[in-house]
Amino acid sequence: MKRLSFLLLDANVVIYLFEHGLWERLIASCDVHLARTVIDEAHFYEDDDGQRHDFDVNEWEKEITIFDVTVAGVEAFCNRFDASYMEKLDPGEAESLAWLVSSARDARICSSDAIVFRVLGNLDRSEQGLSLEEVLKAAGLGRPLSWQFTKKFRDKWTAEGVKES
């Protein structure tokens, strides 16, 4: 199996991977990059009974790449969009997208948030978005997923971003 490289993950995806016991298997298959703010956002999940389960992504810092974008860099990226976009984008997504646009032409970002795919469509970088469904399939970990983690979800919101550009 070919190793996926330069894979940026959103906090919702990281949380899903921990919740479903897939984190270690995925990082063994992929060259994962995480924004520091994503690590700050993704540190627990709640099970069906409401019980909290904490995890620490920093424990895997030797297996993943952690990056930071300056506040000025994130602000410059965000200033390219109107307020309707930015009010939906959380700090981890903003930092990840700023890094993707400024530093990582070959990187791909995996998210479950419509705004990430809208931004990519708006920037004519649709090919840099991935759904969790696509990532898990490529890593040999495919399984049925809820709507926000599917390729159809990514395609729908990327197309919206293209229309809005």
Residue 78 belongs to domain with CATH number: 3.40.50
Please tell me the distance from the alpha carbon of residue 154 to that of residue 149, in angstroms, as a whole number: 8
Please tell me the distance from the alpha carbon of residue 63 to that of residue 88, in angstroms, as a whole number: 30
Going by C-beta distance under 8 Å and a sequence separation of 6 or more, which residues neighbour residue 132? Answer: 13, 16, 110, 112, 145, 149
- Chain-centroid distance, C-alpha 85: 17
N- to C-terminal Cα distance for the chain?
36
Backbone dihedral angles phi then psi of residue 45, each to the nearest 5 degrees: -140, 160
What's the predicted TM-score (pTM) here? 0.93
Q: If DSSP codes are grouped into helix, strand and coil, which group holds residue 74? A: helix
Q: pLDDT tier at 1 (50, 70, 90 boundaries)?
A: very low
Structural domain tally of the chain? Answer: 1
Q: pLDDT tier at 88 (50, 70, 90 boundaries)?
A: confident
Domain extent at residue 34: 4-164
